[in-house]
Amino acid sequence: MENKRSVTIRDVARRAGVSIATVSRYINKTAPVSKEVGESIQSSMKELDFIPNSAARKLATNQYSTLGLLLSDIKGDFFSVLVSEIEKDARAAGFDLLISISRDDTVTTGTNAFSIGPQNTDGMIIFADCASDNDLKYYFFNRYPVVLVCRTAPLEINIPSVGVENLQATKAIMRHLIEVHQRRKIVFLRGLPTHEDSMVREIGYKSVLAEKNIPFNPSLVYPGNFDRDSAFESVKNLLKKNTDFDAIFACDDEAAIGAMAALTDAGVDIPGQVSVVGFDDQTIAPFLNPSLTTIHAPFAEVGRKAVDILIKQINHQAVDSLTVIPSELVIRHSCGC
């Protein structure tokens, strides 16, 4: 096999017995070629281990046929569902997908320092707070298509966003705890402090307390950080301080799982002594003991919609600035039902 780095389009053309222009047309889809010729070119590319250069494709078509996805993480059920749906829908539309994981030291000041962006993709889906406001302004003013997931854009720029409904769903699960199970000392395990979903869910939590004439107690708000370990430690601290509480509303199912583990370790009966509810409806939620009452957040649909909106932008079509997909209360046994 020839060395991958030395193989060129000329080598592929020679192996397939066609012109360089024909190989270029096949790779870049700028003009049709016959089925037989296409199969010959594809076979030659495979034999030579030839990978078309995205920069060359960009020169020929003014498109990379590639979408970018910027995430904070790829672990866990939530990201698995989101990434799987985005990849599937991108591929069905004829696009490859490049994924980059944002770290604290890669947050830029508008200089486009990410490994994916206008230099190698036609547009990008950005999750939550993975990019700064300055990054978003850079993309917007340079006419680079972007869709935000679980975050809205700064007021001065118009970047479309897609997310799940948080406020009414939170109110529904809080009212269920209070009205059906008479819980009044409800711990809130908040998510990450800069995450919009977390902030809106906290607003919903406080709103229902006020609606039910239950005084807000800041000592019942602890970090969950969308993380099992963080939630586990927070609930351990609550128990160590002998804090009086009868329910836990975790900002996501990961935190709910950590909270349930801490309560179980301490011999606290769920839901007899403490109700626990979450948000997301991970695939494991029905199989926990007790099964987890939560909010079904349709993130597969979020992924589908994000791809659809991004491709419409790439094709210069009009899109809605905000898409909110309804969430739904799923009652199981951890609340007391």
Whether residues 199 and 134 share a domain: the answer is no
**pLDDT at site 111:** 45
Whether residues 283 and 315 share a domain: the answer is no
- Residue showing tokens 């001065």: 156
Q: Is residue 38 part of a domain?
A: yes
**pLDDT at site 106:** 42
- Residue showing tokens 């957040």: 297
Q: Is residue 155 part of a domain?
A: yes
β-partners of residue 71 are 101
Q: Is residue 221 part of a domain?
A: yes
Domain count along the chain = 3
Instruction: Find out whether 145 and 315 touch, Cβ atoms under 8 Å.
Output: no
Span between the terminal Cα atoms of the chain, in Å: 64
Q: Which two tokens stand for residue 299?
A: 């993130």
Q: Is residue 318 part of a domain?
A: yes
Whether residues 25 and 85 share a domain: the answer is no
Of 6, 65, 17, the C-alpha closest to 41 is 17
Of 224, 221, 245, the C-alpha closest to 233 is 224
Q: Is residue 79 part of a domain?
A: yes
Q: Is residue 333 part of a domain?
A: no
Q: Is residue 61 part of a domain?
A: no
Q: What tens-digit pLDDT sequence spans the chain (337 residues)?
A: 444 446 788 888 899 999 887 887 787 666 678 889 989 998 998 888 776 665 566 655 667 789 999 998 877 788 889 999 999 999 999 898 999 887 544 444 444 456 788 888 999 999 998 999 999 999 999 999 999 999 999 989 999 999 999 999 999 999 999 999 999 999 999 999 999 999 999 999 999 999 999 999 999 999 999 999 999 999 999 999 999 999 999 999 999 999 999 999 999 999 999 999 999 999 999 999 999 999 999 999 999 999 999 999 999 999 999 999 999 999 999 999 9
Q: Is residue 336 part of a domain?
A: no
Whether residues 186 and 264 share a domain: the answer is yes
Q: Tell me, what CATH number does 123's domain have?
A: 3.40.50.2300
Exposure class string for 251-270: b at 16+ Cβ within 10 A, else e: bbbbbbbbbbbbbeeeeeeb
| SS3 category, 93 | coil
Structural element, H or E, at residue 172:
helix 167-175
C-beta pairs of 194-198 under 8 Å, 24+ apart in sequence: 194/129, 195/128, 195/129, 195/150, 195/226, 196/128, 196/129, 196/150, 196/151, 196/152, 196/163, 197/128, 197/150, 197/163, 197/164, 197/166, 197/251, 198/226, 198/251
Whether residues 174 and 149 share a domain: the answer is no
Whether residues 136 and 189 share a domain: the answer is no
**pLDDT at site 86:** 95
135 vs 152: CA distance, rounded Å: 14
Give the domain range for residue 200. Answer: 167-298
Whether residues 158 and 205 share a domain: the answer is no
Structural element, H or E, at residue 164:
strand 161-164
**pLDDT at site 299:** 94
Whether residues 232 and 133 share a domain: the answer is no
Whether residues 99 and 172 share a domain: the answer is no
CA dist 177 to 207, 238, 259, Å? 14, 20, 17
Whether residues 159 and 76 share a domain: the answer is yes
Whether residues 137 and 183 share a domain: the answer is no
**pLDDT at site 117:** 86
